[in-house]
A = this chain, B = another copy of it.
C-alpha cells in the first residue's frame, strides 16, 4: 500500500507512540475502545514552513464526542490537532468566549489562586469527572499538526487497535485535507512575494479509509464524517462514501448547521438528528445524542461477531 509507505512516521516517533498506545490498550483490556480523530490537518507549502493550507476545525466535535464516549464507559485514544480543543479543558477556554481564562482567577489574601466558578457553570463536577477518567487511565492524547503526521499516526493507532477486534470503534472526525504537495515538490525556503502571483498545484491526498476498512481494522466499527457547504450534495455524497468504502456509518453535516443538525447514514437508513431551539438554549450538545446512538449500534456490531 503506497499510502502507508508515503506517510510513514519517523522511527523514533513511531516507537514512542506505539509503546504508549500498546500500554493504553493493555490497561483497558476488555473495554470498548475508541480511536477519535479531531481538528484540521496542516499542509505545508514550504519545507521550512511559514505558510500552509489548513482545514477549518477547532476540534469541538472530537473533544465533545470524546467526553460522551468516556461517559459511555469507552477508553479513548484521541488523535488531535496540536492546540485544538481538548475534552473537559475546552470548557475552560471556549474559542468564542468574550473572556480570557485569567479573568476567572482570583488571588486570595494568602496568595492562593481560586477559580470564580460562578462564571464557569459545572466546573467542579467537570474537574472531578476528568480526574476520575485520568485515574482510570481511560484517555490517551496523541498530537499531530501536519497531514503527514496525521496519516502516519492514524495508520499506527488503527493497526494497534486491530487487536481489539470488534470492540474497536474508529470515529474519524478530523477535517483532513483533500489536497497536498508531496515532499519532493516542496520549495525549501519561504516563497518570495517579489516573484509575483503565486501558482500552486496540489495533488489529491490518497484516501486512508480504503485500507483502514479493508486491511487494517476489518472488524472495527468505523464512523466517518462528510462535511459539505452545499445541502443538495450532502446525502448523496454520504451514501456514495458508505457504498464505496463499505464501512458502518457516515455522519453527514453542513458547515453552518453542524452543531445542531447531522444525518446518520447507514446501509439501510438515513436518520436525521436535530437539536430544538430549546435544547440549544439549555446547553445540549448534539454529540451526546450521536454518541448514544453509536454506542447502541456498536454494541449490536460486537454481538454480531
Contacts and interface: CB of A to CB of B under 8 A. Distances in A.
A51 B55 contact: yes
Given A53-B51, A197-B179, A228-B190, A89 B113 contact: no
Contacts of A50: 55-56, 175, 227, 229, 255
A278 interface: no
A117 B113 CA distance: 7
A193 B197 contact: no
A111 interface: yes
A95 B83 contact: yes
A23 to B, nearest CB: 17
A117 B115 CA distance: 12
Contact of A101 (B51, B92, B107): B92
Contacts of A201: 197-200
Interface stretch (A124-132, A210-218, A261-269, A290-298): A124-132
A127 B105 contact: yes
Nearest to A113: B115
A153 interface: no
Given A55-B51, A114-B113, A193-B179, A102 B107 contact: no
Nearest to A178: B193
A191 B104 CA distance: 41
Interface in A183-202: 189-191, 193, 196-202
Interface in A3-61: 42, 45-46, 48-56, 58
Contact of A190 (B49, B93, B203, B229): B229
Contact of A117 (B112, B198, B228, B229): B112
Nearest to A117: B113
Nearest to A141: B100
Contacts of A202: 197-200
14 contacts: A50-B55, A51-B177, A52-B53, A89-B102, A102-B127, A113-B123, A179-B193, A189-B228, A189-B230, A190-B228, A190-B229, A190-B255, A199-B200, A200-B200
